Amino acid sequence: MQNKTEVVIVGGGTAGWITAYGLSKHLAKFLNITLIESDQIGTVGVGEATIPSMKVFHRLVGIDEQEFMRETQATFKLGISLENWGNIDDKYIHSFGTIGQGSWISEFHEYWLEANDQGFGGSLDDYCLELKAAKENKFALSVNKNPLLYAYHLNATAYAKYLRKKSERLGVKRVEGRISDIRKCSQTGDIVSLHLDNGRVIKGDFFIDCSGFRGLLIGETLGVEYLDWSHWLRSNRAIAVQTELNSPPVPYTRAISHSAGWQWQIPLQSRMGNGIIYCDKYLSDEDAKKTLFDNLPGEPRSEPNMLRFSTGRRKKFWHKNCVAVGLSSGFLEPLESTSIHLVTTSVIRLMRLFPFAGKGNNKELEEEYNSQTLNEMESVRDFVILHYKLTQRSDSEYWNDYRTMDVPDSLSHRLEIFRKHGYTSSDGLFHVPSWIQVMLGQGLYPERHHRASGILPPAGLKEQMTKIKNHIDMSLKQMPSHEDFIKQYCAAPSQAVK
């Protein structure tokens, strides 16, 4: 039996503990895992809305949904309510559900566009169960054996603690201390050892940088450049604050835009997470704080947490004997709650491409890892930019700049083909229903659409559409309220839902 690989994870935030748990769950036979974190430095302390892929990750690593939800005061999330994005007072939901039922030749929205032309389409929202359930504050895991597509809102600090407990049970060694020096091999440039303030030295074969925005290993030690995307996504500041929960938690995140920046509301069982995302070029810290506090849904119950960031990514995510996971690898603002998703896919990717060959023999794995991670980040980037580019708001310099900016070629092409022909395709993380909901939700109505619906006689199209709508309405009637569902399924012990 070969010696085990010594893996050292730097950082005990969401990224660090997800990585530690994933690796220890599946590769413990081959690895000794040590995680270093510093209570003195702490974690970023935000990041509480997720997307449905988290459920898949939990299944892969054997996390019990009810236990996890109780421990993290989690609620369910069926989508995001995007308010004031297309125009002031506009509102639409980007839900996680499928919309209607398309065919191999044509997506459902193309049938719906035809139905609209014929005067009977109604609202696209009526064809998505998750979306209607979100609007009516209802929830169920499945209806008539058809599972719903959903994600979670969770308490980030409790989630890291929960994963820590589970990881330590699987043998992960946690070391408390602040890393003050890092030594590299003079010949290969690989990282060799981490030196802590308290005198401890931790040696390793492979290092995972989960040290947050700072990128202690990947950036500061190995010198991997940070490529800036702030010409597309300008926000560089956030203020986060928790408030009391004054009404039952809704099963969706709210993203409410203001004249410069936007505000999130993430309901947990025990409290509401709030924050504002903005760019200091358009809004001062004072004004941002005022905007946030003027629009809070309850009494503050924490001090405001002021955060700075820059949107972008590392030039390489895996370099030498180090992989960056989490904020150290790059950051896209949390409008579509994609960061934790990117952490989980990075961990899965790393498990699939783990460098068992030993030092110096992993070039192909490194290249593959970097190329897959880049594709994923770029597709998420385009989807987030879409929300800004498609605004029709002209009430501030902020929105004017976004509306008139150049976007990446990949997004430009997508917008043009949809605008002219009503066509769009799934890409990476986001599938057709997501692109459609945002494009139509923000007022991009195509000039024409595919004619496949014409194969059906008009009565047939109407019949099909009515059938889908009725089925959704009947399913909705069988669903309990989100609040009741949480109470009976996963109420946190001392956090009964108000």
Ligand X SMILES: Cc1cc2nc3c(=O)[nH]c(=O)nc-3n(C[C@H](O)[C@H](O)[C@H](O)COP(=O)(O)OP(=O)(O)OC[C@H]3O[C@@H](n4cnc5c(N)ncnc54)[C@H](O)[C@@H]3O)c2cc1C
Residues binding ligand X (CB under 6 A):
10-16, 36-38, 41-44, 46-50, 156, 178-179, 210-212, 214, 216, 238, 240, 275, 307, 309, 326-328, 334, 337, 339-340, 343
**Helices marked H in 243-310 — which ranges?**
285-294
Residue 8 DSSP SS3: strand
Q: Which of residues 337 and 453 has its CB atom nearest to ligand X in the complex? A: 337
Asked whether the CA dihedral 398, 400, 401, 406 is positive or negative, the reply is: positive
Instruction: Quote the DSSP letter at residue 430.
Output: B
Type and span of the H or E element at 135? helix 129-135
Residue 9 CB: number of other CB atoms within 10 A? 28
Nearest Cα to Cα of residue 229 among 377, 367, 369: 377
Contacts of 253 (CB under 8 A, 6+ apart): 49, 77, 79, 80, 81, 153, 264, 265, 266, 337
Question: Shortest gap between Cβ of 160 and ligand X (angstroms)?
Answer: 8
Contacts of 462 (CB under 8 A, 6+ apart): 115, 118, 120
Question: Shortest gap between Cβ of 175 and ligand X (angstroms)?
Answer: 9
Q: Which of residues 156 and 468 has its CB atom nearest to ligand X in the complex? A: 156
Question: Shortest gap between Cβ of 47 and ligand X (angstroms)?
Answer: 2
Q: Which of residues 48 and 205 has its CB atom nearest to ligand X in the complex? A: 48
What is the secondary structure of 211-248 as a DSSP string?
Answer: -GGG-IIIIIIT---EEE-TTTS---EEEEEEE---SP
Question: Shortest gap between Cβ of 8 and ligand X (angstroms)?
Answer: 11
> Which structure tokens are listed for 288?
């941002």
Q: Which of residues 379 and 481 has its CB atom nearest to ligand X in the complex? A: 379
Question: Shortest gap between Cβ of 376 and ligand X (angstroms)?
Answer: 14
Question: Shortest gap between Cβ of 89 and ligand X (angstroms)?
Answer: 25
Q: Which of residues 220 and 378 has its CB atom nearest to ligand X in the complex? A: 220
CB of 237 closer than 8 Å to CB of 288: yes
Residue 250 CB: number of other CB atoms within 10 A? 21
User: Exposed, middle or buried: residue 467 (CB in 10 Å: 0-12, 13-18, 19+)?
Assistant: exposed
Q: Which of residues 25 and 214 has its CB atom nearest to ligand X in the complex? A: 214
Question: Shortest gap between Cβ of 220 and ligand X (angstroms)?
Answer: 9
Question: Shortest gap between Cβ of 235 and ligand X (angstroms)?
Answer: 9
Q: Which of residues 57 and 206 has its CB atom nearest to ligand X in the complex? A: 57
Q: Which of residues 345 and 475 has its CB atom nearest to ligand X in the complex? A: 345
Mutual angle of helices 14-27 and 156-169, in 10-degree steps: 30
Q: Which of residues 240 and 439 has its CB atom nearest to ligand X in the complex? A: 240
User: Helices then strands (H, E): number in the chain?
Assistant: 14, 23
Question: Shortest gap between Cβ of 337 and ligand X (angstroms)?
Answer: 4
Count CA within 13 A, CB hemisphere, residue 12.
28
Nearest Cα to Cα of residue 39 among 170, 197, 204: 197
